[in-house]
């Protein structure tokens, strides 16, 4: 808990847990219809509805939710009967308090166990879970290998990972050329509806855990898990531009225009920044290899980082 990044992230999420200030791009009804359609083919079928259909009747005795925040996902999963019990953890004490209160109010408190925990020092029970959920949390993880290795060990054979995530550029990858297409679009929005003169390189600068290694999530997951299903749902333009628009002054068609702009960007080969992934643990020697890889790779990274630092002490070296 002495890691300054973790402390600042917890402070940020404690404030958000107590009084949310961020309106998510996903909350807009037109955007929601676009997301739902991208995932399920229908504007009315939400991701979890799609997942329930995909499961064809499969249900889970015990799940774990990694980075539960104030707990909307777990309450939904219990209400739907998808999981009988869920253990959930998060680094923000205030969010955990809110999650516990809401679970009590909604009569599901006996089925969800909330605890404080750090993604980068995970302590999941071995072989205990049928399914692990990541809902907009894996992009806050610094030690992806350690967490995925822990999840691999914690899942039962044939268990599942359900991940709904930002998988776009990591925070240190943003450069002027990467954000140029977003800026070109943003600059065409009427000045009075723009909250900033120029789009900044990074959303949520006050949260140092934002997008720490987001662009590695899928490749790291693949080492230990077989991907059974992947549904990309954009966010490439929308998630970057949305927070910087004054929606009370925006022209009526702006959301639809951004959605169309995003589709065009995706057609021209830009990657999706958000996806849902369903995966299952690898078995046998592949699993053993993954565990070794998850253990060794961060150490090699560290060595490479130390060498680069020594060779050019004045340069900022990405770890
Ligand atoms: C975008 S929120 C998602 C919350 C929830 N899953 C949801 O969808 O509403 C990210 C969450 O990650 C948590 N978080 C960030 N860094 C963390 C860390 N190192 N350990 C534990 N939780 C962390 C924050 O407290 C926050 O609740």
Measured from the Cα of 5, ligand 1's closest atom is 19
- Residue 87 backbone dihedrals phi, psi, to 5 degrees: -100, 135
Q: Is the pLDDT of residue 168 over 80?
A: yes
Q: Is 247 helix (H, G, I), strand (E, B) or coil?
A: coil
The mean pLDDT of 179-201, rounded to a whole number, is 95
Q: 245 has which bridge partners?
A: 194
Q: Could you report the per-residue pLDDT of 12-32, keeping only the tens digit for each?
A: 888 887 777 777 899 999 999
Q: Could you report the per-residue pLDDT of 54-107, keeping only the tens digit for each?
A: 999 999 999 999 999 999 999 999 999 999 999 999 999 999 999 999 999 999
CA angle, residues 23, 95, 114, in degrees to nearest 5: 135
Q: Is the pLDDT of residue 266 over 60?
A: yes
Reported confidence tier of residue 254, pLDDT bands at 50, 70, 90:
very high
- Any residues with CB less than 8 A from the CB of 136 and at least 6 apart, and which? 67, 69, 164, 165, 166
Q: What share of the chain is helix, strand, coil (3-state, %, to 5)?
A: 50, 20, 35
Q: Is the pLDDT of residue 318 over 70?
A: no
* One-character DSSP codes across 31-94: HHHHHHHHHHSSTT--HHHHHHHHHTT--EEEEEEES-TT-HHHHHHHHHTSEEEEEEEES-HH
Reported confidence tier of residue 43, pLDDT bands at 50, 70, 90:
very high
| CA–centroid distance for 171 within its chain | 13
Q: From ligand 1's centre to the CA of 54, what distance in Å?
A: 26
Mutation test residue for ligand 1: of 2, 5, 6, 13, the one with most atoms within 8 Å of CB = 13
State residue 12's pLDDT score: 84
Share of the chain above pLDDT 70, in %: 97
The CATH architecture annotation of domain 4-311 reads: 3-Layer(aba) Sandwich (3.40)
State residue 199's pLDDT score: 94
Q: Is the pLDDT of residue 207 over 60?
A: yes
State residue 203's pLDDT score: 66
Q: 114 has which bridge partners?
A: 88
**What is the spatial distance between Cα 31 and Cα 28, in angstroms, rounded to a whole number?**
5
- Residue 39 backbone dihedrals phi, psi, to 5 degrees: -85, -50
Measured from the Cα of 95, ligand 1's closest atom is 27
State residue 8's pLDDT score: 84
Pocket lined around ligand 1, Cβ cut-off 6 Å: 6, 9, 13, 67-69, 72-73, 90-92, 95, 117-120, 135-137, 140, 209
The mean pLDDT of 224-238, rounded to a whole number, is 98
Q: Is the pLDDT of residue 167 over 80?
A: yes
Mutation test residue for ligand 1: of 90, 103, 171, the one with most atoms within 8 Å of CB = 90
Q: Is the pLDDT of residue 1 over 60?
A: no
State residue 282's pLDDT score: 98
Q: From ligand 1's centre to the CA of 295, what distance in Å?
A: 24
Q: Could you report the per-residue pLDDT of 118-157, keeping only the tens digit for each?
A: 999 999 999 999 999 999 999 999 999 999 999 999 999 9
């Amino acid at each position: 808990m002495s890691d300054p990044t973790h402390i600042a992230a917890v402070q940020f999420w404690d404030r958000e847990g107590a009084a949310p200030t961020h309106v998510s791009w996903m909350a807009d009804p037109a955007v929601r219809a676009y997301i739902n359609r991208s995932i399920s083919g229908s504007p009315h079928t939400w991701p979890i509805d799609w997942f329930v259909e995909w499961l064809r009747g499969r249900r889970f005795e015990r799940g774990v939710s990694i980075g539960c925040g104030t707990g909307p996902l777990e309450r939904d999963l219990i209400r739907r009967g998808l999981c009988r019990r869920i253990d959930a953890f998060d680094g923000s004490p205030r969010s955990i308090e809110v999650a516990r209160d809401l679970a009590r109010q909604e009569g599901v408190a006996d089925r969800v166990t909330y605890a404080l925990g750090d993604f980068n020092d995970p302590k999941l029970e071995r072989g205990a879970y049928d399914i692990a959920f990541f809902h907009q949390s894996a992009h806050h993880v610094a030690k992806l290998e350690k967490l995925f290795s822990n999840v691999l060990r914690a899942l039962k054979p044939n268990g599942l990972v359900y991940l709904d995530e930002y998988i776009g550029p990591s925070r240190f990858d943003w450069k002027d050329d990467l954000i140029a297409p977003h800026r070109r679009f943003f600059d065409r929005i009427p000045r009075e509806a723009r909250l900033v003169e120029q789009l900044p390189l990074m959303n949520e600068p006050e949260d140092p855990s934002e997008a720490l290694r987001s662009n590695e999530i899928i490749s790291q997951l693949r080492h230990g898990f077989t991907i059974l299903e992947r549904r990309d749902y954009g966010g490439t333009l929308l998630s970057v531009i949305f927070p910087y628009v004054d929606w009370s002054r925006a022209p009526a068609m702006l959301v639809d225009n951004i959605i169309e702009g995003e589709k065009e960007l995706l057609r021209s080969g830009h990657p999706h920044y958000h996806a849902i992934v369903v995966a299952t643990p690898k078995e046998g020697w592949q699993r053993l290899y993954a565990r070794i890889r998850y253990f060794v790779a961060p150490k090699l990274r560290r060595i490479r980082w130390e060498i680069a630092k020594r060779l050019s002490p004045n340069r900022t070296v990405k770890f």
